[in-house]
Amino acid sequence: MSEQVQETSRCTAQAVLGHDYDHYDPVFALDPHPSYAVLREKCPVAHTENYGGFYILSKFEDISEVLHDAATFSSWPADTPPTPGHSRALIPLEVDAPDHRRYRMVVDPLFRPHAVADVAPAVRQFARELVDGMVAKREFDFMEEFAKPLPSAVFLRQVGLDFSVEQRDQLCDWAGTILHTTTAGVQHGDTDAQTKARIDAGKALHNFLKGLLDERLEKPGDDIISVLVKAQMPGGRTLEYREILNFAYVLVLAGLDTVTTALGFSFMHLARRPDLQDRIAADPNLIPSAVEELLRYESIVHMSRTVVKPHTIRGTELKPGDRVVVPMASAHRDEDVFVDADEIVLDRKPEHSMIFGAGSHRCLGSHLARLEMGIAFEEIFSRIPRFSLPPEAELVAYGGQTRSLVNLPFRTWRDGDPTTA
């Protein structure tokens, strides 16, 4: 045991993987699982000097420990490297106790199951319209035709905006650049250009939300920003202008990215597995567990924490100021926690799961995400029970605080279907 501890305490990602750890690398983002398997086996607490230096935790148990110990591992900042351009903790994402709970109490009621259920009819109606377009086109980019439009329409409705393709695309572009450093003409590795793009996108999104907030201050409605305007913190104080902007900024990034990405990866895997398609099509009652399993199988969030007091994990001594990243993609493929971790088991009933995070920062929008995912599966499988990727499909992904599919070429049939002639 002592030899293993000593080896673990000094191992680096570079030495174990043969290359450095870069969660923004598009190749890594498309399929990080082989690297995570190596890290879990040989170096579960690995270090890299990349992006200012940080530790990569890869075991479920260690990641769970970090997420449940907010007193030792601060959420500020939540990304590695820290998102450029903001000097205050994003609310509530990067706020620690006790203020975190006070902020969450303001918005938690908006995302509870009964509140989320109220939007279900609108989500289903829009999902059906999108599926109509998919059926008519037969071959298309799934991300553009379904995965992006559905969550963004829900978000625009929540902030009280009429749906506009132009507005949706602009918001998605800003969110993608901030989270993944994606923007036209900027290549991965061009750090200066990537930083500038993220700062510019952050400023543009901030200015857009500032204009929206000013409108709601003049004429409140029943949307989320209006709720924030009228909300009271414990003790009776109202939120300051900058706090509302900060809150809204986080809601945009979460609302426009995570469900889109989860839908993309889920249908990528299903399109490659006709056997799974056939099981779901034959038994729609599998959909809730299938959604959970696919979220486990391709977990997308890559969170970061800052050590605030000395702590030891697997013999590695962490000191205040050290940065750790906790990739959920690795946690949910941990062979010590999940039987057949690298297999998609549609009716799996896991005893442990952190697909929506853990601890005090568990995802605020988990109920809404499950609703959107469930409706998406139901509406797609009711009309398109057999689908596939074109044989020549070349997929591209972006990394960062979340991993995201850029494209997903998609066909509403499978080779050999009689209707394809």
Range name among 128-137, 189-198, 244-253 with the lowest pLDDT average: 189-198
Sign of CA pseudo-dihedral 313, 360, 400, 149? positive
What percent of the chain is predicted at pLDDT more than 90?
Answer: 75
**Mean pLDDT of the region 270-286:** 98
Asked if the model's pLDDT at residue 1 lies above 70, the reply is no
Q: Residue 170: what pLDDT?
A: 87
pLDDT tens column, 295-316: 999 999 999 999 999 999 999 9
Asked if the model's pLDDT at residue 6 lies above 50, the reply is no
Average pLDDT, whole number, for the chain? 91
- What angle, 0 to 180 degrees and rounded to 10, lies between the N-to-C axes of helices 120-137 and 366-383? 40
Closest C-alpha to 348, from 396, 299, 395, 286: 286
Q: Distance between CA atoms of 27 and 18, rounded to whole angstroms? A: 15
CB 81 within 8 A of CB 325: no
Q: Residue 184: what pLDDT?
A: 64
Q: With 0-12 CB in 10 A as exposed, 13-18 as middle and 19+ as buried, what is 414? A: middle
Which tokens is 356 given? 């929506």
Q: Residue 419: what pLDDT?
A: 65
Q: Distance between CA atoms of 166 and 148, rounded to whole angstroms? A: 13
Which tokens is 340 given? 């057949």
CB 166 within 8 A of CB 417: no
- Cα of 230 vs its chain's centroid, Å: 29
**Mean pLDDT of the region 131-146:** 97
pLDDT tens column, 322-359: 999 999 999 999 999 999 999 999 999 888 899 999 99
CB 81 within 8 A of CB 48: no
Domains and CATH numbers, the chain: 2-420 (1.10.630.10)
pTM above 0.75, yes or no: yes
Distance from first CA to last CA of the chain, Å, rounded? Answer: 63
Q: Distance between CA atoms of 5 and 413, rounded to whole angstroms? A: 52
Within 66-198, strands assigned E span 73-74, 139-141
Contacts of 301 (CB under 8 A, 6+ apart): 258, 328, 357, 401, 402
Taking the C-alpha atoms of 210, 216, 221 and 223 in order, what is their torsion angle to the nearest 10 degrees? 10
Q: Distance between CA atoms of 268 and 395, rounded to whole angstroms? A: 10
pLDDT tens column, 143-181: 999 999 999 888 888 887 776 788 888 888 888 888 887
pLDDT tens column, 65-114: 999 999 999 999 999 988 777 778 989 999 999 999 999 999 999 899 99
Q: Residue 234: what pLDDT?
A: 81
